[in-house]
Amino acid sequence: MRPFPFKSSPAIPAIFALFLGTLTLLGCGVSAPERLEVTSLGDTPRTLAPELGLGTYSLESANTSFILSDISHEQLIDSSELFGHVLHVELLWVPTAGKTAVEPAATNTSIRLLVFSGRELGLYGGGGFAWPSGDPGSPAYGIDIVGSNISLLAATAGFIDLLSPAQLTGQVRTRLDGAATKQMTTAASQFLTNALKRAQWVGPRSRELQQGAALNGEYSTLTDFVVR
């Protein structure tokens, strides 16, 4: 099995919750790292920093959907052995700087990360908090993911999990293309289903989350994410 591009990193201090608690008091956004990083929170911290050069986003009725990858749509359709990553992030509601309080367990994004390692693959998923960057519907739009909690949800038999539990942070910048976003999401989902021999994906209870978002100050928690 091909090793992931991990690097060693210092232990994560146990002040992540305090950091988000500080955001509650400030009521404003913070900057995310320029590159996307998945950092394990175990006894031996590792950082996965994929270069996801392919990316698009779509505006949907219940959310904004971003998909980034270092694997093409054609590869997902035609290949059975891949090395790379596909990241799918849904922005469920948009916070307002100065008004939206942030709690350590608050989330406004649904996160799915597929890690391909030859004929093995793993699906990581969870929720996070992100601030928008730019204007929805513009040619270029993105989010800054400042906190998250993800773990392995499903995998093929030979996949080795070196991350769970982990956090994903960083900047997502993509171009508007609804058709391409849907194509990549569908292809990634079908590839995962074929590999696991069963339907497997992760999604939020979007309607409930949207209703809560409309009521100033109500937010979702990690319990709002279900395997289906």
Taking residues 179-183, report their average pLDDT. Answer: 93
Q: How far apart are CA 174 and CA 67, in angstroms?
A: 8
Structural domain spans, the chain:
6-227
What does the pLDDT read at residue 2? 40
What does the pLDDT read at residue 25? 32
Q: How far apart are CA 196 and CA 164, in angstroms?
A: 19
Answer for the pair 178, 62: CB distance below 8 angstroms, yes or no. no
Q: Enter the tokens of residue 50.
A: 């994929």
Taking residues 6-24, report their average pLDDT. Answer: 35
Q: How far apart are CA 64 and CA 55, in angstroms?
A: 13
| pLDDT class of 8 with cuts at 50, 70, 90 | very low
What does the pLDDT read at residue 93? 84
pTM over 0.85: no
Q: Measured in Å, how far apart are the chain's first and last C-alpha atoms?
A: 28
pLDDT, tens only, 33-86: 678 999 998 888 899 898 998 999 998 877 899 999 999 999 999 888 899 999
Taking residues 199-215, report their average pLDDT. Answer: 46
* Cα 174 to Cα 87, 140, 195, distances in angstroms: 12, 6, 28
Q: Which residues, other chains included, contact 76 with Cβ-Cβ below 8 Å and sequence gap of 6+?
A: 82, 86, 184, 187, 188, 190, 191
